[in-house]
Structure 1
Amino acid sequence: MNRVILMGRLVRDPEIRYSQGENSLAIARYTLAVDRRGRRNQDGNQPTADFIRCVAFAQRAEFAEKYMHQGMRMLISGSIQTGSYQNKEGQTVYTTDVIVDDQEFADSKGQGGGTYQNRGTNSYRSDSSGEGGSGVGDGFMNIPDGVEDEGLPFN
């Protein structure tokens, strides 16, 4: 199984390009700075981070172009893809990218401008006012009164 879930901050605004041809395809490339759990730099102050390259296609790329900006904390999931190419000096360069399946803001509206999700071709906004989302603002759905606890999958 090839599945990865990451949470980190955008190092810079996504770079967007469009493929050539009749059916041009949007391609977004961005880098997430993901803190390493339990590791500190040599000074002992700051957590160290990995800088992970991510690639999004089609509607996900357009979403990245429109809504994602440097410094935003993002939650993404996808798969790892490796590759290689020859550089100008003839040396083989190995690459590792995350191909994005899902991407969403990890900060609340007050911290980073709302929570947007982009799953496939659907995108929506959920904010703390309850408009356009679950109605709670904390990412959880309200369970109506009268629903039996026995029907919940996490009992």
Structure 2
Amino acid sequence: MELRASRRRLLLDGMDHLAQNLDDLRRLAHVLTSRGVQVRFLREQLVFSGEDSPTATLMLATLSALADFERALAGERHGEGVAVARIRGAYRGRARSLTAEQVHRLRAQAAEGVAKAALAREFGVSRETINAGQCPPIAIARSVNTWSRYS
């Protein structure tokens, strides 16, 4: 961030628009005001210009600590809600692309040496699905043990 003008103002709706936590907020407010930028938070009705009163500094710390606390509580509540939804069966995630029978056929064809790209086209999924785990790892027939050279 490079600011060269002598009289700049930064207007923000709230403290949460400048930083995610108290440390970042204090650091950014200090950096901006030391460069001659006046930082104004509209919702909190606070103004920081570099010659701040101890009361303004206290308000900055208090309000940003409360915002940090609220954010942490919201995260906890979200996690608890997801856990309850999983128990209830309402939070299941994405449906599998392949059925168990399709995975079995796919593995058999892969063991016969069919290319992964051809398998992906046949089953209507991407190669990433085959490689990365929508179905469990595919055993590809190889006559050479690749680990033997590292033993």
- Select the structure of larger CA radius of gyration: 2
**Which structure has the highest helix share of the two?**
2
**Which structure has the highest strand share of the two?**
1
Query: RCO greater where, 1 or 2, for CA within 8 Å and sep 6 or more?
Result: 1
Taking structure 2 as the reference length, the TM-score comes to 0.21
Taking structure 1 as the reference length, the TM-score comes to 0.20
